[in-house]
Amino acid sequence: MRRAVLIAVPYLWLLALFLVPFIIVLKISLSDIALARPPYTPQLDLNEGWAGIRAFFAGLDFENFTFLSTDDLYWKAYLSSVRIAGIATLCTLLVGYPIAYGMARAPLEWRPTLLMLVILPFWTSFLIRVYSWIGILSSEGVLNQFLMGIGLIGEPLTILNTNTAVYIGIVYTYLPFMILPIYSALEKMDESLLEAAEDLGSSRFSAFWLVTIPLSRNGIVAGCFLVFIPSIGEFVIPSLLGGSDTLMIGKVLWEEFFSNRDWPVASAVAVVLLLILIIPIVLFQRSEENAREAGR
């Protein structure tokens, strides 16, 4: 009985906060745009009883999804989102791994402080932190002034409003999600394994490749998914730091919703995005399961 209650709690949570909103979005994506409030038809009218319900279901169709496949803007946006998220994830890994490694090898008494420092940025609003990058990256920004000040460059670099700025923004924002799982994998690693590898004739560098990397694989995989999945749908970073040629599905979705007020198409975009994201999520879960089995 207690078990059933305990299991029911997360399921109810998922039902209320994920499944119900998803069904609502799915319903809107199957509706048609209308100049009304809310701006779509059909509406479910329960007062008319059975006839009303039947009329409601008759009004739903896949028109919006067909539209998504005919306009190349959408699939280009999806593709570009995946590419940007992929490159940004790789950059985050390259930046995050050494940080996590350093933390895991730091003296024991330092580690809580270092962890704290990694988590600390979350205490400030995400929006403000991304905004402040505008001040750093713009042509009169801190970075350009510094680089010109030391004479490294003659004229300001154009970083803001390019994909580079988006990468910087994503790496900066999602770095903790990369560091924490890698750190926890590296911290668990027995250092005598590296000594054993060296003792058996491998150099420090090859010991790192042969032992440290394989043993932190689970952390790397978890970190990559934790960065990749939210960055595909990222909206704030590309709209604040990206340029007119930065095409990301989050931005498209926003425009459909608020500029065009086309809720049904926006909902269809969201549903397709979710379906795309299900692939990495399933992969992630499978790798977690493997990790759990191997860890036993």
Partner 1 sequence: MAESDFAPWNDPEAKPLIQFKGVTKRFGDFTAIDDLTQDIYEREFFALLGPSGCGKTTLMRMLAGFEEPTEGQILLNGVDIGHVPPNKRAVNMMFQSYALFPHLSVYDNIAFGLRREKKPKDEVHARVKEMLRLTRLERFAQRKPHQISGGQRQRVALARSLAKAPKLLLLDEPLGALDKKLREETQFELMDIQEKTGTTFIIVTHDQEEAMTVASRVAVMDEGRIVQVATPDVIYEAPNSVYVADFIGDVNLIRGTARLRPAQAATEAAAPPPEQASPETTPAAPVAKEAAAKTDGPQPNPLGRALHDRILSPIFGTWLEEEPRRLPPPSAAETAKTPAAETPATPAHPQDIPPGGLEIDWSDGQPALLAANGDPALDGEKVVLALRPEKLGIAKTRPDAPNTLKGKVIDIAYLGNISTYHVEIEGGVMVKAQAANTRRISRRDITWEDEVWLSFTATAGVILKDE
Q: Of 77 and 182, which CB lies nearer to partner 1 in the complex structure? A: 182
Residue 197 or 269 having the CB closest to partner 1: 197
Helix (H, G, I), strand (E, B), or coil: what is residue 40? strand
Q: Which residues 277-296 are close enough to bind partner 1 by CB under 8 A?
A: 294-296
**Cβ-based nearer residue to partner 1, 151 or 201:** 201
- The smaller minimum CB distance to partner 1, of residues 77 and 207, is found at 207
* Cα 212 to Cα 21: distance, rounded to the nearest angstrom: 42
Cβ(160)–Cβ(237) below 8 Å: no
Q: Does 2 bind partner 1 (CB under 8 A)?
A: no
Rounded least distance, CB 274 to partner 1, Å: 34
Least gap, CB of 205 to partner 1 (angstroms): 11
Give the C-alpha separation, 78 to 49, whole Å: 41
As measured in angstroms, the least distance from the Cβ of 99 to partner 1 is 23
CB 192, min distance to partner 1, A: 4
Contact 240, 162 (CB under 8 A): no
CB closer to partner 1, 41 vs 202: 202
CB of 200 to partner 1, least distance (A): 3
CB of 287 to partner 1, least distance (A): 14
Alpha-carbon span 222 to 281, nearest angstrom: 10
- Hey, which residues between 109 and 138 contact partner 1 (CB under 8 A)? none
20, 21, 228 from 13: Cα distances, Å: 10, 12, 24
Give yes or no for a cis peptide into 39 (omega within 30° of 0): no
- Residue closer to partner 1, measured from CB, 3 or 296: 296
Beta carbons within 8 Å of 232's beta carbon, 6+ residues apart: 81, 82, 85, 249, 250, 273, 276, 277
Site for partner 1 in 164-223 (CB under 8 A): 190, 192-193, 195-203, 206, 210-211, 214-215, 217
Q: Rounded to the nearest whole angstrom, what is the least distance from the CB of residue 196 to partner 1 in the complex?
A: 4
User: Half-sphere exposure (CA, 13 Å, Cβ side) for 140?
Assistant: 0
Q: Which is nearer to partner 1, 26 or 193 (CB)?
A: 193
Angle between the N-to-C axes of helices 217-232 and 163-188, in degrees from 0 to 180, rounded to the nearest 10: 150
Residues in contact with partner 1 by CB under 8 A are 190, 192-193, 195-203, 206, 210-211, 214-215, 217, 294-296
